[in-house]
Structure 1
Amino acid sequence: MVSVETVFKRSKFSWEDYFSDKKKGGHRFSTEEFLAKEAKEKLFHLNGGKTLLDFGCGAGELLIYYAPYYEKVVGVDFSRSMLLEAKKKVLKRKYENVDLLLADDRTVWEKLDTKFDQITAAGVVQYLTPEQVDSFIRNASAYLSEGGKISFFDIIDPKLYSLWKIGWFSQDFIPRDILLRVCTCCVKRVSAFLENRPADIIGNSYNPNQIESIARKNGFQMEYAKSVYYEYRYHAILTKIP
């Protein structure tokens, strides 16, 4: 039996450590066909500009599809192993308009020397606390060109994710399995607590109203859009309030 003393002396979990040796992002499929379609959806929302900051670019799965549409692209991630994979992809395609930086949401700003028309982060918000999201928007605002946008892609919606977890969106969904799935989720949460890791390794979820509230606090208005390729995710497109 695990004692109370042992539980509260557990070593601290960090996403930096978790992603330190990862080489792939959390995309539903890793095929070029799927990633190209996913990138196309996001490019639709980005809608132009000449310069792009892709924060949390990971292994560059989407970045390499963004690059042809911009004069300059800067990819940022705190995982060396992910950036190495991104570098391989960039070199393979011989892109000369892409720079890659090793940094996190606190240190990235001191490494930038230009403003951007688009600042994007796909599948990143779930690994940030509300305070970090607030700080990111505030700092990003100073690096946006006039008329620029901040696009948070694929934020996990807590209500829709709960439905997804019990199989609601599955073609072979069976209502009588709900109780079993809920019990399984509870067991996993208790196990995660005892092992000092997140209840769900996919990260945190945010109600759209939470993101909109933080955005407005920093002088932005939010446009909401559901993700095409992930049933339980949504996009938050932020523009400066006139």
Structure 2
Amino acid sequence: MFGGYEKNVSKQKDFWIEFFANRRDGGHRSSSEEFISMEAKEKLFHLDGGKTLLDFGCGAGELLIYYAPGYEKLVGVDFSASMLDEASKRVRERKCGNVSLIQADDKTVWDKLESSFDRITAAGVLQYLTLKEIDSFVFNASNYLNNGGKIVLFDILDPRLYPLWKIGLFSEDADIWKILRKIGFELKVILSASLNNRPKDILGFAHNPGTIKKVANKYGFETIFVQSMYYEYKYHAIISRISEAKPQ
């Protein structure tokens, strides 16, 4: 049973690697600078200071360049070469001399880091990680976190709200017939994905806040959950250490 599950997850990972291979944008609700700026301000508020920051899954660097003025040193990480190419262009255009970029994934990044950080963040990333991978990420991140530091995980798909968003319940012009059509469309997508061995949802996995809290507690952290201001079906997890002792 577990062997089949692992094989299916592996296929989903391969799909997402291919999907992002040539992407050059981070998939924000709007690509306008005005929107990205507002989204970055919200995230900077929750990051709440620190001098050094690791942005895992930085994508094309849309948020990273807005984080840069508030930190002495930033490291952006992404597995997609095309995304990092765009991020590099943005960093050069904004003259962000305090930003460096690394190509890596959630397993390889840790061996490429040369220092620890006050803040470790990821936005819109957990949806592409299984619970086991999230557990590993939090554990590894905890060993690269300075005293008093925080792990801030942005834009996690909320399994309680995401299905309602997908069927259009939050739309301003929602009505019963549009919702029924949306439900029918989503069922077709799920069926097609199953027949073609693709992920049932292009946006990945939704994770309940309770499961994230259990992972954080396991490694001596406490967690505050905050609703996203700009994505009604997502939430943020602000993870701080209860005690300063690092897990062994």
> In the TM superposition, what whole-angstrom CA distance separates every residue of 1:74-126 from its partner, at most 9, and x where no partner exists?
00000000000000000111111000000000000000111100000000000
Aligned to 2:150: 149
Aligned to 2:212: 211
Alpha-carbon deviation of 1:179?
A: 2.8
Aligned to 2:123: 122
Percent of matched pairs sharing the same residue: 59
**3-state secondary structure, aligned to 1:118:** strand
Matches within 5 A, 1:1-242: 12-13=11-12, 14=14, 15-242=16-243
| RMSD of aligned residue pairs (Cα, Å) | 1.5
Alpha-carbon deviation of 1:177?
A: 3.3
- Relative to the length of structure 1, the TM-score reads 0.94
Amino acid at match of 1:33: E
Alpha-carbon deviation of 1:181?
A: 2.0
Instruction: Work out the CA distance in 2 between the residues paired with 1:179 and 1:31.
Output: 32
Aligned to 1:3: none
Alpha-carbon deviation of 1:180?
A: 2.7
Amino acid at match of 1:12: K
- Show structure 2 runs of 5+ residues with no match: 1-6, 244-248
Alpha-carbon deviation of 1:183?
A: 2.1
Alpha-carbon deviation of 1:178?
A: 2.9
> In the TM superposition, what whole-angstrom CA distance separates every residue of 1:146-204 from its partner, at most 9, and x where no partner exists?
01000000000012111111111111110243333222211110101112211111111
> In the TM superposition, what whole-angstrom CA distance separates every residue of 1:25-76 from its partner, at most 9, and x where no partner exists?
1100001000000000000000101000000000000000000100000000
Contact 2:169–2:179 at 8 Å: present in 1 too? no
Instruction: Work out the CA distance in 2 between the residues paired with 1:167 and 1:91.
Output: 39
Instruction: Work out the CA distance in 1 between the residues paired with 2:22 and 2:167.
Output: 30
- Show structure 1 runs of 5+ residues with no match: 1-7
- Relative to the length of structure 2, the TM-score reads 0.91
**3-state secondary structure, aligned to 1:149:** strand
Instruction: Work out the CA distance in 1 between the residues paired with 2:202 and 2:218.
Output: 29
Using the TM superposition, name which of 191-200 and 47-56 deviates more.
191-200
Instruction: Work out the CA distance in 2 between the residues paired with 1:175 and 1:85.
Output: 42
Instruction: Work out the CA distance in 1 between the residues paired with 2:174 and 2:134.
Output: 35
**3-state secondary structure, aligned to 2:150:** strand
Instruction: Work out the CA distance in 2 between the residues paired with 1:26 and 1:218.
Output: 31
Amino acid at match of 1:52: L
**3-state secondary structure, aligned to 1:99:** strand
Amino acid at match of 2:136: S
**3-state secondary structure, aligned to 2:114:** coil
